[in-house]
Each structure stands twice: as C-alpha cells, then as structure tokens.
Amino acid sequence: MLQKFRPKGTFLLESGEHLPEIEIAFHTYGKLNAEKDNVIWICHALTADADVAKWWSGMVGEGKCFDRDKHFIVCANILGSCYGTTGPLSKDENGAVYYDRFPDVTIRDMVKAHIALRKHLGISEIEVLTGGSIGSFQAAEWAIMEPEVIKHLIIIAGGAKATSWTAGLNEAQRMAIRADKSFFDFTPDGGKEGMKAARAMALLSYRNAAAYNKTQPLDPNDDYRKLKAITYQQYQGEKLARRFDAYAYYVLTKSFDSHHVGRGRGGLQKALSTVRARTLIVGIDSDILFPKGDQELIRKFIPGARLQWMHSDYGHDGFLLEYASLTKIIRDFMEEYGGL
C-alpha cells in the first residue's frame, strides 16, 4: 500500500533554493525485525515508482532475492517525480502548480529526502542499499552521505558521475520536449508529444544495436513504412505518455545530469574512499549508457569494492530483465557475509 510522509518545515535544496514543504510517497514490504537489521532499501530508476514489487517483480517477493518474508523492504519515490512525491505538478504555498517553476533537484536532494524518511521509519541501519541506473546514483550518494548507516552497497548499471555522453543524451531529449509548444501551455498534459519522442530516444540508449535488431527483426518483405522498429518506438512513447508527465521527465533528466559524487568533496577518489559499506558493483557487458569504464572507476576508489560483470543481450535494461543472473550475483556476494 502506498504511504506518505511529510517532513516538518521547509526543505532546503543543494542549489540554495527551498521547497516550503515536501511529501514523500513510499512502499514497505515485510516487517522490521526486533534487531532492526533486516532492511533492504531499493532506489528506483528514472520513471519507476515506489512499488518495487511490481516493476522489479523478478527480484522482490516471496522466495526471491529480496524476500518480504525475511526482509523489511523499502522503496521511496524520488523528489521531482509524478508518483506521489513532491514534483512539478505539485502545488506551491500559494496553491499554484509549479510546472516549469519547480526548482532544480539533485541526486543529493533525493537522498536527503530519503534520509528523512529513514529516520521517520526508525531505521538506524540499512543491511543492503541498492538500485539500478539513476537508482545506483542515489545508492552511491547515500553511502557517502551516511557511511555509518549502510552495511552493504550494491550498485547496478550505474556510475559515480554523469558523463558528457549521458548529459548529451538527456539534453537531446529535453530539446524534443521543448520543441513541443504545448510544454509551455503549463497544463498537466503539456509536452506529451515531445516526451514521446524523448522516450523513443532514451530507449535506444537502454538497449544496443544487437539487442534491438534481435527484438525488432527486419523482414525483407516488410513494408518499410511500418517496420517493427517504427511501431515499437511509437508504442514506447505512447506507453510512457499514459503514465508520466513531461514536466517531471524534464526535471528528472536534469537531476540525472547533476550526479557527481566528487562535487564539493575534493574529487571522486576522495569521496568514494569514505564509503565504509561492503560494496558490490554489477556492470552489464552490453550496456552502452554506462560502459565498462564507469563501473571500473567506482571499484578503483571504494575500498575493497568488488566488480562483477553480468552478461545480457539487452544492454542497460538487462538489470530489469535478467532476474536469475542478477539474483545469483547478489546472493553469491552476500553469502560471504551470512547471506540474505
């Protein structure tokens, strides 16, 4: 069941701006044990929500890697999203919807909100903190912001910083949204057509040529105007437009660009060296969004970190699809520390 939490007072953002109040939407599964040492906190990716048992069903559930019968599992919706946590379609202190006036939110701001939720839930220790893609950004930041709280850190398909490559991809998507004039009408459905195009762009970076050619095969007898790839791209855009808004998408891609754990901390090496959690980094061998160098950088600077490669034909999206492989990698790692 979706739950809500409102921290008291104004919420100061890393930029120096503030939100008069915030609301955090979250899900919990299972029960916190008497020792309070069975917490699994999962940070979600860009357009996901707090219901991790739904969108990561192969990993979360009875008898699965993260088992609600054994663990107290928490997943909170990120700041700036449209799934219950304060975002661009929320109202300001005067009752007006923010739309494009919603301030910039960084990954650190997201984690700061979730730290407030952690304290509210009475959690003093997180046994496993994990996430994929932008969820891995949050996990890495959190392990630096609260090193004494995180026991095991599992970073999946991500990096210690955004890169010029990812920022370029994100800006191309924002250009598509801005090209949709309805984005500036400031209505809940504003920018939807532009967001469809943005999602189609993003999808290509979540896969790769081999994966895409495999899942959307080309037949020489196909009508070139109705190729599977064409209709699939259109379908993916429509699918997101039915459940997401363009203003949240715009804000969250900028949040993605903000990620750099070394900012204001003396650089990447110094920041990552403060992580005290036992760390596993899971890279995907076919990921073009976060190539191998991104994961190797984290392993290099987090003390004792282990890097494990997962094979997948599906590129970056492999972390959402390769349940069996990912479960084995995580369980093998955790077995060294008593298991999950």
Q: Which of 71, 114, 259, 316 is catalytic?
A: 316
Active site residue 316: yes
Cα gap 20→223, rounded to integer Å: 55
Which residues touch 143 (CB under 8 Å, ≥6 apart)? Answer: 129, 150, 153, 275, 276, 277, 279
145-165: buried (b, 16+ CB within 10 Å) or exposed (e) per residue?
Answer: bbeebbbbbbbbbbbbbbbee
Tokens in use for 153? Answer: 């850190």
Helices assigned H by DSSP within the chain: 52-55, 107-120, 134-145, 164-178, 192-206, 209-215, 228-241, 246-257, 268-272, 292-301, 318-321, 323-335
The answer to whether residue 311 is catalytic is no
Residue 15 φ/ψ, nearest 5 degrees: -70, -15
- With CA atoms as reference, report the closest residue to 7 among 165, 85, 120, 97: 120
One-letter identity of residue 141: E
Catalytic residue among 81, 90, 133, 312: 133
Q: Tell me phi and psi for residue 29, to 5 degrees.
A: -135, 140
Please identify which of the residues 49, 287, 294, 317 carries the catalytic annotation. 287
> How far are the Cα atoms of 63, 96, 105, 123 from residue 56, in angstroms, in the given order?
14, 35, 25, 23
- Examine the residue annotation and report whether 133 is marked as an active-site residue of this protein: yes
- Report the DSSP pairing between strands 150-156 and 278-284: parallel
Positions marked active-site: 133, 287, 316
